Amino acid sequence: MRIWSNRSEEAWIMGRRRFLCAAALTCAVPPLAFSMQLAPDMSRSLTKEERDRMTPQSVVEELKRGNERFRNGKMSPRDYLGEKRSSAPGQYPAAVILGCLDSRVPAEIIFDIGIGDAFVGRVAGNVVNDDMLGSMEFGCKVSGAKLVLVLGHTACGAVKGAIDDVVMGNLTGLLARVKSAIPATKFDGEKSSKNASYVDAVARANVLLGVADIRRRSPILDEMEKKGNIKIVGAMYDLATGMVDFVS
Ligand SMILES: [Zn+2]
């Protein structure tokens, strides 16, 4: 009986502690300081108000934190059905991500974000083309996303194909877009697709050219960035470590 009583008391104290901690956090920490991941709880998506309160830089920080959770195996437990339900009437993503087709670089997983948090477009070599630019303009200008991210990665097959001058069907034209990164790559050493460091250096140059291309070819996004409404940035994902390195 006494043991039971002690346990009840302990449970009450623990519950009270949790309540006080939660209350203290609510009072002491401004809403934007919470890890939004990107929505603030795992059972729903970002609301328009939450997304609009974010700055372009805070979206970058959220993605960095999400990548850290992914790398450390501490991903947020998500209720995908809850996110599906809450986002069905409307979506308010915070970012537009242009990534590679590569099956090992799923943006939502490596950034630990949920349904409705980001627009994600994927094409081999994460190349910028008119359709992707139109999608980014929709994502930012029409829908209100705060960040455009070009996401390249290590050991990219499209980059290797461009280095090797692969010619095959429609792939030829796609790789031609990646090839412009080759003369833009500063590299001392063996310049071949067998040299992993060289492949990654070209992939990095390809990301930087992609970012520059977006600014040059989309006056809409360029103007939004100059006004501080959005940021256009590039990053490289390391297949081996899981680390996303923001390069611009
Ligand atoms: Zn790739």
pLDDT of residue 6: 42
CB count, 10 Å around CB of 21? 10
Instruction: Specify the pTM.
Output: 0.85
pLDDT of residue 7: 40
C-alpha 7 to ligand 1 mean position (Å): 56
As a whole number, mean pLDDT of residues 4-21 equals: 42
C-alpha 229 to ligand 1 mean position (Å): 29
C-alpha 108 to ligand 1 mean position (Å): 16
C-alpha 142 to ligand 1 mean position (Å): 29
C-alpha 50 to ligand 1 mean position (Å): 32
Question: Looking at the chain, which runs of residues are DSSP E strands?
Answer: 95-99, 118-122, 147-153, 231-237, 244-246
Q: What is the mean pLDDT of the chain?
A: 88
Pick the range with the lowest mean pLDDT from 2-11, 85-94, 188-197.
Answer: 2-11
Contact 46, 37 (CB under 8 A): no
C-alpha 99 to ligand 1 mean position (Å): 8
- Got the DSSP string for 65-106? HHHHHHHTT-PPP--HHHHHHHHTT----SEEEEE-S-TT--
Distances (CA, A) of 130 to 6, 137, 163: 68, 10, 24
pLDDT of residue 248: 82
C-alpha 130 to ligand 1 mean position (Å): 19
Residue 5 has pLDDT above 60, yes or no: no
C-alpha 22 to ligand 1 mean position (Å): 43
Backbone angles phi, psi at 99, to 5 degrees: -120, 180
pLDDT, tens digit (0-9, with 9 covering 90-100), for 187-228: 999 999 999 999 999 999 999 999 999 999 999 999 999 999
pLDDT, tens digit (0-9, with 9 covering 90-100), for 190-201: 999 999 999 999
Q: Which residue has the tokens 């209350």?
A: 23
Of residues 10 and 143, more confidence is placed in 143
C-alpha 100 to ligand 1 mean position (Å): 5
Q: Sorting pLDDT into bands at 50, 70 and 90, what band is 43?
A: confident
Identity (one letter) of the amino acid at 21? C
Residue 32 has pLDDT above 80, yes or no: no
C-alpha 159 to ligand 1 mean position (Å): 7
Residue 20 has pLDDT above 60, yes or no: no
Contact 100, 151 (CB under 8 A): yes
Residue 27 has pLDDT above 80, yes or no: no
Contact 242, 235 (CB under 8 A): no
Residue 73 has pLDDT above 50, yes or no: yes
